[in-house]
Amino acid sequence: MKKLGALVAAAALMITGCGSSSGGSGSETLTVFAAASLTESFTALKTSFESSHPGTEVKFNFAGSSALVQQLSNGARADVFASADQTNMDKAVQAGVVDGAPSVFATNRLTIAVAPGNPKGITGFADLARGGLTVIVCAPQVPCGSAAEKVERGTGVTLRPASEEQDVKQALNKVQSGDADAGLVYVTDAASAAGKVGQVDFPESAQAVNSYPIAVVKDAPQAGLAKQWVEFVLGEQGRAELQKAGFGAP
C-alpha cells in the first residue's frame, strides 16, 4: 500500500508540474498590437509562425496606430507594436513603451477606393473636392489621415470629408457599404477588397509614403517570442507576404 501511495503521489506531482506552465495549457500567447492596415498580411503570417513555434498562439489587436499608442501608454499589456507610420512609433518611444530601436519593415501609400465600376467617374485626387461627392478620410492623428493631409498641402486641394474615421478599415468599409462615394485608403486595403471596391491611383500619393516600424514592447510578457516575431516579419517570409499584399519595401 505504501508503494502504491508513493506512485499515486508521484503521478499527481507530475500532472501538476505539466499543467503549471503558461496558465496550465503548456502554451504561450504572443500579443501583437498592429495597425489596422496590417490585418490581412499579419493574419497570414500568424499561421506560418505558429507552425514553426509549436505551442505558441499569436493574438492580434488591430486598430489605428494612434489608438494603439494610447492603449500602451495607459498600461495595456502587449509584446509587439507595429505602427503604420513613424510619427506614432516616435510617440511610443517617447512614452517609454517600446524596448530598443524600432525597425522599418514596409512602406505603403494612399489610393482612392470607389464603388465597383467607378460610377462617379473619379480620375484623380483633385476630383475628391468636387461637389456632390461623399468622401471619407481617416482622422488626422491616424497615419492614413496624416498622409491625406500631406497630399492636400502638396496639391493645394482642400477636401471636405463627410467623416474622419479612426482607422483605415473603417474608411474602406464606408465605401464598401455604399455610405461613401470615395475613401482615401492604402493600396493594400483596396487590394484586400478587390471586387468589392474599385481603385483609383493618383501620382500625388508619392508625396506621402508611410514607413511602417515595428518594435518589442517594454516589459513584454513574452519578450523572447516578441523578438522572434519581429525577426520573422523582417525576414524573407515576412517580406514576401507583405509584398504579396501590396506593401513596398522599406
Residue 212 assigned ligand-binding role? no
How far, in whole angstroms, is CA 81 from its chain's centroid?
9
Residue 65 assigned ligand-binding role? yes
Residue 142 assigned ligand-binding role? no
pTM: 0.88
Q: Are 160 and 130 in contact (CB under 8 A)?
A: no
Answer whether 22-107+211-245 and 110-208 agree in fold. yes
Residue 168 assigned ligand-binding role? yes
Nearby residues of 219 by Cβ (< 8 Å), 6 or more positions away: 99
- Is the domain 110-208 a CATH 3.40.190.10 member? yes
pLDDT, tens digit only, all 250 positions of the chain: 444 344 333 333 333 333 333 333 458 999 999 999 999 999 999 999 999 999 999 999 999 999 999 999 999 999 999 999 999 999 999 999 999 999 999 999 999 999 999 999 999 999 999 999 999 999 999 999 999 999 999 999 999 999 999 999 999 999 999 999 999 999 999 999 999 999 999 999 999 999 999 999 999 999 999 999 999 999 999 999 999 999 999 9
Residue ranges per domain, the chain? 22-107+211-245, 110-208
CATH of region 22-107+211-245: 3.40.190.10
